[in-house]
Amino acid sequence: MQKLLLTKDTQVYKRHTKEYFRPKTSLSTSESCGFFTSMGEGKKMITKPDGIRKYVWLACLMGLFITGILSLDCNSLNVRLRRVTWQNLQLLSTMSNSFPIECLQERKAFELPQEILSYTQPLQKNIKEAFYEMSKQAFHIFTQDTFQSTWEEKHLRQVQIGLDHQLQYLEQCLEEEEEENEDTREREELLSAGEETLRKPSGAPVLQLGNLDLRRYFNRIDRFLKDKKHSHCAWEIVRVEIRRCFYFFQKLTALLRRR
């Protein structure tokens, strides 16, 4: 059985019914500044106060610089997301030299949701939310305990780590956008309070339907693996199917630049 191994610098977070891994957060800038200030105040040195303030402010400025690097905006995250998605697509292609001929008769149509296939109309759906749901479900598929495949362990771990990075970038960007739009939503809710019974927020039904379709799609894949007892052919068929799903979402991530 092959599983992703935890390291000392990794924390396990649970979201919904799955676990994924995320690096520990570092000390905040304000805490860093307070830390350096207390150090300067605690030591009795024959140094001019101006010199102490100088080094404290340099430390604080360095902390602000590092925080700016660690907290990337969505545009930077989208660039990284496109890169890691392409890498995951390549990994899924190289995990197996060729599709086994003996597995052709076991192929199954999992019915990828049509909304994903029609990626030429991205404004009618929340691409990032749907992509996050897909990444989460794919991570669940590839972190199962039961593996009966000839895939090399290093390739499997690379896919798991790549999906984890994919989830981190998406989650950070979605949280950033949520914080930015919180005030705007509150104002809109106040303005539309009198019309609450006449209209509903636009986009919500489409988003829920898209995520529900994605969950059903991956449930069909998961059920197929269980029905086939997680056989080698079953995993090869699933690998090709998820690679196909990644291909369409790679097209979608290219459209994130326009949002």
* pLDDT at residue 227 in the model: 92
* pLDDT at residue 257 in the model: 59
> How many structural domains comprise the chain?
2
- Are 135 and 27 part of one and the same domain? no
Domain assignment of residue 19, given as a range: 1-71
- Are 235 and 121 part of one and the same domain? yes
- Are 131 and 119 part of one and the same domain? yes
* pLDDT at residue 175 in the model: 82
- Are 213 and 147 part of one and the same domain? yes
* pLDDT at residue 222 in the model: 93
- pLDDT by residue for the chain (259 residues), tens only, comes to 444 444 433 443 344 434 433 433 334 444 444 434 444 444 444 445 555 555 444 444 444 433 333 345 666 767 777 788 888 888 888 777 778 888 888 888 888 877 665 654 444 346 778 888 888 999 998 888 666 556 777 878 888 898 898 888 888 888 877 777 776 767 777 776 655 443 444 443 333 446 788 889 999 999 999 999 888 889 889 989 988 888 877 776 666 555 5
Name the domain boundary from 71, 102, 128. 71
Name the domain boundary from 31, 48, 71. 71
- Are 89 and 213 part of one and the same domain? yes
The answer to the question of residue 197 being in a domain is no
The answer to whether 128 and 174 have CB atoms below 8 angstroms apart is yes
pTM over 0.75, yes/no: no
- Are 122 and 143 part of one and the same domain? yes
Phi-psi category of residue 251: left, alpha or beta, with phi > 0 → left and psi -120 to 50 → alpha: alpha
- Are 91 and 6 part of one and the same domain? no
- Are 226 and 158 part of one and the same domain? yes
Name the domain boundary from 21, 55, 71. 71
- Are 85 and 144 part of one and the same domain? yes
* pLDDT at residue 98 in the model: 77
